[in-house]
Amino acid sequence: MARQKEFDRDAALDRGMAAFWSRGYAATSIEYLVAHMGIQRGSLYATFGDKRSLFLSALERYERVVVRELFEALEAPGSGLEAIRRFFRLRVHGALDRSRPPGCLVTNSAVELSRLDRGAAAQVGRALATLEAAFLSALERARTQGELATTRDLRVLARFLTSSAQGLSVMAKAFPQRAVLEDVVAVVLAALEDGGPGTRRGRVRKR
């Protein structure tokens, strides 16, 4: 009979995720991971594979556990615009939570690895596409409820909101003050008003 692992896989993976989140991929060595995760080197390789495989598992875990609350805010029934406002309130709250590493693991990974690792870049791309789709769904609900004009290009708005959410995480690393982040969010949300970005009649045709 095979010997059972003597550690909680998810708990160890959470510690590995925190290591990558706080230090980045390149600066997180196997030696640091072994010490931080509280497992033996052989157990790390046997359970998670090499460092890269562990990182991809940690990124998936981050999306499934940490980001889930944000998606639930966007998917909640009711006002589509209020769902988006709730998302950004939670984003600010998370950015200021000192019990978490600074920034966003998806954003950090996009900056560090997108040109170096196609697999990591693809996983980050999928995460951002999922967020864009969630924003799009909330925007469609808002338009159905009469909160957005029919002249707004919702795909453009969804991409704008996705970019803004990631930019907010970067801003929070440099300026972790609530007033600063709420100023940014106020401008982002004001852009949802009629006449803002994504208004079809406001676009300039390319010649």
Q: Is the pLDDT of residue 98 over 60?
A: yes
Q: Is the pLDDT of residue 74 over 90?
A: yes
CATH number at residue 173: 1.10.357.10
Q: Is residue 3 part of a domain?
A: no
User: pLDDT value at position 156?
Assistant: 95
Q: Is residue 203 part of a domain?
A: no
Q: Is the pLDDT of residue 93 over 60?
A: yes
Residue with tokens 């996983």: 123
User: pLDDT value at position 194?
Assistant: 62
Q: Are 43 and 107 in a shared domain?
A: no
Q: What is the mean pLDDT of the chain?
A: 89
How many residues are recorded in the chain?
A: 207
What single-letter amino acid sits at 95? A
- pLDDT (tens digit per residue) in 109-134: 988 988 888 888 899 999 999 999 99
- pLDDT (tens digit per residue) in 34-67: 999 999 999 999 999 999 999 999 999 999 999 9
For residues 19-36, b (16+ Cβ closer than 10 Å) or e, as one string? bbbbbbbeebeeeebbeb
Residue ranges making up the domain that contains 121: 67-198
The pLDDT confidence band at residue 4, using thresholds 50, 70 and 90, is: very low
> Which letter does DSSP use for residue 62 in this model?
I
Q: CA-to-CA distance for 204 and 200, rounded, in angstroms?
A: 9
Q: Is residue 173 part of a domain?
A: yes
Q: Are 128 and 174 in a shared domain?
A: yes
Contact between residue 200 and residue 149 where contact means Cβ atoms under 8 Å apart = no
List own/partner pairs for 173-176 with CB under 8 A and 24 or more apart.
Answer: 173/102, 173/103, 176/95, 176/96, 176/102
The count of domains in the chain is 2
Helix (H, G, I), strand (E, B) or coil at 7: coil
The pLDDT confidence band at residue 197, using thresholds 50, 70 and 90, is: low
What single-letter amino acid sits at 201? R
H or E stretch covering 135: helix 118-144
Q: CA-to-CA distance for 68 and 58, rounded, in angstroms?
A: 14
pTM of the model: 0.85
Helix (H, G, I), strand (E, B) or coil at 88: helix
Q: CA-to-CA distance for 155 and 160, rounded, in angstroms?
A: 9
Looking at the chain, the whole-number percentage of residues with pLDDT higher than 70 is: 90
